Structure 1
Amino acid sequence: MNTVIRRRILALVAILILLGFGSVVYSLVDLQIIEYEDYKVKAANQQLKDTVIPANRGVIYDANMKVLAQSATVWTVAVAPSEIDEEDRAGIAAGLSEILGVDEQSVLDKLAKTKSSYQTIKLKVEKPVADAVRQFAIEGKGGKGYKGISLSQDSKRYYPYGNFAATVLGFTGTDNNGLSGLEAYYDDVLSGTPGRQVSAQTATGGDMGYEYDSFYAPQDGNSLVLTIDEVIQHYAEKELDRAVQDYNALARGVVIVMDVHTGGILAMATKGDYDPNNPFTIYDEAKRAEVEAVADDPATEDVDEHKQALLEAQQTQWRNKAVSDLYEPGSVFKLITASAALDSGSSTLNDSFNCTGSIKVAGTTMRCAHTEGHGAENFSQALVNSCNPAFIQIGTKMGAGTFFNYFNAFGLTRKTGIDLPGEAQSQFYTAEGLGPVQLASCSFGQSNKITPIQMITAVATIANGGDLVQPHLVSKVLDAGGNLVEDLEPEAKRQVISEETAKTICSIMQEASGRAAVKGYRVGGKSGTSQKLDSGDPEARISSFVGIAPCDDPQIAVLVILDEPQNKVLGEVFGGYLAAPVVGQIMSQALPYLGVEKIYTAEEAAEADVTVPNVTGQEVANAQVTLTRDKGLSVDVKGSGSTVVRQFPSSGTLPRGGTVTLYTEEGLADEMVTVPEVTGRDMASVEKALAAAGLNLRKDGSTGSSSVIATTQDLAAGTQVPLGTVVTVSFHDPSVSAD
């Protein structure tokens, strides 16, 4: 080998050495400088295990600290396909599908993703099921355990009363974030801050021991104390649900009960609703059938059409009509027009009107619901009669500017700011847009559209002496230890009308209470029956009634709305017929519960219920004395024995003067009688018909006049019932408007 060749070889070797050294230097620079942060993170990830510890979501309490929503520990079941042997997949899929109630093939599909180290099988698994999964992972089917199955802790929201206040409380999603209602509005308050546990790991992935762990405790969410009273909420929901069903309100119903002095919501409900424990299930049978029909229709090729139908049905049942739906309030709004007219001085109680059944405004004929006309009437009578022509004149005399100023002062031009998501903005004519026809229509409650929460807040202003209050649902925020964090009781916004005006309107409202009347309480109210002008259905109506009680010192206001009722009373869907009794039933339960004392008139005292004593085992003569002399009841003796062996009713209450049936022989069966049809009759005729049938009568609604008409009976005609059963009949005074 000559010198030239040797030199070339040495040069080549030197170059190779330099290149190799340069590569090493570059790699060192890349590792230690350029990619340092990335490799540092990767190394930390291999050496450390970071586990998120969820915070407990705060509790939602009612006003008396009853739990309405709380969270509990659940588990997520997952698998690590990369760690599972192929021969174990079928056994794991079969076992997990059986325990968890999931599809076996879907588990197999997830196990087949062998490059994955984490596949979720089921979320929100409760303890008994989680324990079964844990046992299965340890022992398997034949004593052989399975690797690659994991359980991680999570939390699940529980609503112990089911669909109670569902549209108010809302619900949470799989990530425990609020998706609706108070859960969404106060999500930041309720959520808390998750914690972390950072654990050191060995080279093989095992834990190095607790001495190497760092623990960052979660900060639990704060809790809410509501103004909602669970007892009053139950009263309100029960009565509203019954009315929605009885009158077949196609577009659902709404009830709000408000403390008129604080604006606190004691009850709020929309029916039909849903169970927040399973919010994605459709609970309205008709809606569910519609959704299923879309899914089953062969003509429906697009899966998205079914999804859209399902989503619309879900959003409908989640929607809180009390704050999210606009409506034309109808004659209930006449309370606002009347208050504005008296307070501004544009009208007085001495003003007189002559209603002929219609009135012309700028060439447009506007009619009264009382088509034959009310004739001569003063201001108070116009409100009690709910006379449209009179209120058109009242509004016209007030003028567009004054009308709009009071409309604005009552808070009807902006959202109330209630602590719920999705509050709708009202739609209304400004002063400049109120021409003669528009002003006339707005004066009796049509054309302008507001929310139910705006309507009851405006009525509360009248009831409390003239102050506009802030409606709200949360009174306090507590920390995880139960300590007060924040008191949220708001102040009144402003005085809208004088106390004198407010008292005057409250006094007139008592005359208009109609079927909402409650014995022992001075209930004031106003009915409304409004057209749904933009619904496309000329027959669509909204029946409503607002009540306050007691009129001499109002404590609560109750608003009930039935949207598109189909079943009529005396051929009509008037708010005074349909919604007023619902308000009356709620008042009759809520007022005693709140400790409001009953003060009976002489007439009411004579008809007040008395407790039926149990006289079984007594001599008939003694039993008769106890029932007749001591309780003011009548007695009907069946049999020839000398001792009472059974009675009907055996307990409870009866209207004073009612009849108790006493059986004096063993083996005598209850005598069954048929309930007669009494609706549409006057009171004397009703009393006679029920007495002839051997039934007791409980009078409800307007009973102070001999001209009242029976509008409803709680037991349907033709029903077979025991002799002496009480039939509750609701009466309406034709002289009090029901529209």
Structure 2
Amino acid sequence: MTPSIEEKEISTVLQSFPSLQMDEDKRRDIASHIRRERELLIQMKRRKRYAQVIGGVAASFALLFIAYQWIPSEVTPSVPSAQQMNREDGQNTYASGTTLSTGTVITIDRQIQAYVDEALDKTNAAYHPENMMVIVTDPNTGEILGMGNRRKHEDYDSLEESVRAVPDPVVAFPIVTLAAAIEEGMYSSNETYDSGTYEVVPGKPIKDHNGGIGWGEITYLEGIQRSSNVAFAKLGYERLPKDSLGKYLRRFGFGAKTDTDIFGEEAGQIPKMDTPYDAAMAAMGHAGSVTAIQQVAAVGAIANGGELLTPHLSKQAKSGTTDSYKGRRVVSEETAKQVREILEAVVNNRPGSGTDFSIKEHAVAGRTGIAGKRDQQGNFIEGKYTYSFIGFAPSDDPKLLVYIAVDNPNTDLWLGLWGKGIVAPPFKEIMGNSLQYLQER
């Protein structure tokens, strides 16, 4: 008999904790319980009765802690089941400080999660996208403070959605390209280049997003502010030594699992860069595949001064998460600082492409991205796009990082406008309200 998804997940837990022993009957009992919990969560979603419950959190944590406790028929009293949440009208959510039976604390902040849910619901009601995701973290610790998604189809798990690899990371890869060029001493903000088109290979020009018209001869800083494809292609292919971009992408955690405490994580794929054209496309983010969690971790390293941390939903109640989840240094503090300043200029200074994401009370640093959707064969689907933004604030001392992606919204707005008009409002609402809440608490 083929093992169920739940049985496979239990096996993963047991492999991670060799001291735990469990016979096959016990595994099947626990798997059956988890399956019932997940089915009930889906039913609750369909009845719109779990407004602040992160889809799948209960099931995933129940799986882990049931395995710890060996309880086949019920979760421990300190871990609310889907049935308990259903009886309480779906108003519960895990909050920072909630201690589970193993002495583990959930990192989700109830108030920040409420801001996430409200913003998701507003955008979903207005534009009905195929999918929409938000992740909020503390980039200094890697703690996930809020997360969620909305999808046209009901059978989803927002946790698993956050660790599913999707193609064309047009937000994160260019940031790594910029960081690599700075770290290698190959970037100068005041140096100029010819924007518009860049023919790396004869007959296959790379074009800026305004149809290849460009903006004439401009500085690299202006090119990055305008999100110029040519600027990033030149930095990634011409300036960086051969094979350096792939090295930096791996250094920032792409192509490997982050080891986050979310089940089902995929590793994604570092793009092949055997040809100059492939390398240039990778530098722009139009190649390879990554997860939302990987992008959050990578940009979080820029926000916190160069340390790659593991994003996580739980921590030991009496231990510092920075110590427990410290990863590795990926760039110098000076490089991270320079990238932060450039990303701040993208949002706060004209002609920055991200000025719609600025917040009056706080300096935001970040980057926008538009990627065409692909079918299962990897071909672009005409007229379908995913718009995303990742940003942190305050830019000189980041307290929060917010990633948001909206997949193929239903709108008549022109392509150049719908992304900012749809994605900017929820980002600003979540970031602004959350920063104010952190200051006041």
Same fold flag (TM > 0.5): yes
In the other structure, the counterpart of 1:456 is: 296
2:427 is paired with a residue of what secondary structure? Answer: helix
Question: 1:270 aligns to what?
Answer: 149
User: Would you say the 8 A contact 1:560–1:583 is kept in 2?
Assistant: yes
How far off is 1:225 after superposition?
A: 1.9
Deviations 1:283-308 (A, max 9, x none): x5xx5xxxxxxxxxxxxxxxxxxxxx
Deviation, structure 1 residue 379: 2.1
- Supply the distance in 1 between the matched residues of 2:241 and 2:293 (Cα, whole angstroms): 26
Aligned twin of 2:340 = 506
| Offset, 1:452 | 0.6
1:162 to 50, 56, 75: 50
Q: Provide the residue aligned with 2:177 in structure 1.
A: 337
Q: Is the 8 A contact 1:261 1:460 kept in 2?
A: yes
- Partners of 1:187 and 1:487 in 2: CA distance: 25
Aligned with 2:55: secondary structure? helix
Among candidates 229, 232, 236, match of residue 116 of structure 2: 236
Aligned to 1:495: 329
C-alpha contact (below 8 Å) 1:544/1:580 kept by paired residues: no
What amino acid sits opposite 2:339 in the alignment? I
Percent identity reads 27
Q: Quote the offset at 1:545 in angstroms.
A: 0.5
Partner residue, 1:260: 139
Instruction: Using the TM superposition, give the Cα deviation of residue 568 of structure 1 relative to its aligned residue in structure 2, in angstroms.
Output: 4.4
Q: Secondary structure at the match of 1:532?
A: strand
Distance 1:221 1:264, change over 3 A: closer
Taking a change above 3 Å as real, the CA distance of residues 579 and 526 of structure 1, as seen in their structure-2 partners, is: same
Does residue 592 (structure 1) correspond to residue 436 (structure 2)? The answer is yes
2:268 is the counterpart of 1:426: yes
- Which of 197, 215, 224 lines up with 1:374 in the alignment? 215
Alignment of 1:39-438 (within 5 A): 162-171=50-59, 181-189=60-68, 191-192=70-71, 222=102, 224-250=104-130, 252-272=131-151, 287=153, 314=155, 316=156, 320-355=160-195, 357-363=196-202, 364-371=204-211, 372-397=213-238, 398-430=240-272, 433-438=273-278
Aligned to 1:576: 420
Among candidates 398, 419, 432, match of residue 554 of structure 1:
398
Q: 2:160 touches 2:263 (CA, 8 Å); kept in 1?
A: no
CA distance in 2, matches of 1:405, 1:507: 24
Letter in 1 for 2:259: G
Query: Aligned equivalents of 1:377 and 1:434: distance in 2?
Result: 29
How far the C-alpha of 1:565 sits from its partner, in A, is: 1.8
Q: CA 1:368/1:379 → structure 2, altered by over 3 Å: closer, same or farther?
A: same
Structure (1/2) with the larger strand percentage? 1
How many residues of Structure 1 are paired with residues of Structure 2 in the alignment? Answer: 359
Partners of 1:572 and 1:382 in 2: CA distance = 17
2:411 pairs, out of 555, 558, 567, with 567
Structure 2 contact 201–276 (Cα < 8 Å) conserved: yes
| Aligned residue type for 1:524 | A
Deviation string 1:369-426 (CA, Å, 9 cap, x unpaired) is 1222122222221111100011111111214411011101101120111101111121
User: What is the DSSP-based 3-state SS (H/G/I as helix, E as strand, rest coil) of the residue aligned with 1:567?
Assistant: coil
Partner amino acid, structure 2, of 1:351: E
Deviation of the 1:441 alpha carbon: 0.7
1:245 Cα shift? 2.9
Pairwise CA RMSD: 2.9
Cα separation, 2, equivalents of 1:564 and 1:591: 29
Superposed, 1:471-490 pairs within 5 Å as: 471-476=311-316, 490=324
Q: What per-residue deviation string (whole Å, max 9, x for no partner) do you get for residues 180-202 of structure 1?
A: x332344323655889xxxxxxx
2:57 counterpart letter in structure 1: L
Q: Cα offset for 1:237?
A: 1.6
Structure having the higher helix fraction is: 2
Q: Is the 8 A contact 1:545 1:575 kept in 2?
A: no
CA distance 1:541–1:400, change in 2 (3 Å) = farther
Secondary structure in structure 2 of the residue aligned to 1:334 = helix
Contact 1:530 1:542 in 2 (8 A): yes
Query: What is residue 4 of structure 2 aligned with on the other side?
Result: none
Paired AA for residue 169 in structure 1: V
Q: Which has the larger radius of gyration?
A: 1
Structure 1 position 515, deviation (Å)? 1.4
Kept after mapping to 1: 8 A contact 2:370/2:388: yes
Structure 1 Cα separation of the partners of residues 116 and 438 of structure 2: 14
**Matching residue within 504, 515, 528 for 2:356:** 515
Q: Deviations over 1:611-646 (max 9, x none)?
A: xxxxxxxxxxxxxxxxxxxxxxxxxxxxxxxxxxxx
- Alpha-carbon contact 1:528-1:574 (below 8 Å) kept: no
1:135-161 CA distances to partner (integer Å, 9 max, x unpaired)? xxxxxxxxxxxxxxxxxxxxxxx9998
Query: In the alignment, residue 118 of structure 2 is paired with which amino acid?
Result: K
The answer as to whether partners of 2:57 and 2:159 remain within 8 angstroms in 1 is no
SS in 2 for 1:333: helix
Structure 1 SS opposite 2:396: coil
Letter of the 1:347 counterpart: Y
1:540 to 380, 384, 387: 384
SS of alignment partner, residue 255 of structure 1: strand
**For 2:218, what is the secondary structure of its paired residue?**
strand
Given the superposition, is the C-alpha separation of residues 561 and 402 from structure 1 closer, same or farther in structure 2, using an over 3 Å criterion?
A: same
1:539 shift after superposition: 2.1
Aligned equivalent of 1:530: 371
Q: CA deviation at 1:352?
A: 1.5
Match of 2:305 among 465, 480, 486: 465
Report the 3-state secondary structure (helix = DSSP H, G, I; strand = E; otherwise coil) of the residue aligned with 2:257. coil
Matches within 5 A, 1:605-624: none
Deviation at 1:571, TM superposition (A): 4.5
The CA distance in 2 between the partners of 1:247 and 1:194, in whole Å, is 41
Matched, 1:441 2:285: no
Question: Within 2, Cα distance between the matches of 1:190 and 1:327?
Answer: 39
Query: Partner letter of residue 543 of structure 1?
Result: Y
TM-score using structure 1 length: 0.46
Distance of aligned partners of 1:186 and 1:419 in 2 relative to their CA distance in 1, 3 Å threshold = farther
What amino acid maps onto 2:232 in structure 1? Answer: F
Deviates more, 1:392-401 or 1:319-328: 319-328
- Structure 2: which 5+ runs fail to align? 1-35, 38-43, 75-99, 348-354
Deviations 1:271-329 (A, max 9, x none): 13xxxxxxxxxxx5xx5xxxxxxxxxxxxxxxxxxxxxxxxx63x35663211242322
For residues 231-288 of structure 1, the C-alpha deviation after alignment (integer angstroms, 9 at most, x for no partner) is 00110121122223322212x111000101100001111213xxxxxxxxxxx5xx5x
Kindly provide the amino acid, as one letter, of the partner of residue 201 in structure 2: A
| Alignment-mate amino acid for residue 552 of structure 1 | D
Aligned residue in 2 for 1:48: none
Cα separation, 1, equivalents of 2:440 and 2:183: 30
Residue type matched to 1:446 in 2?
Answer: H
Deviations 1:10-62 (A, max 9, x none): xxxxxxxxxxxxxxxxxxxxxxxxxxxxxxxxxxxxxxxxxxxxxxxxxxxxx
| Residue 563 of structure 1, CA deviation | 1.3
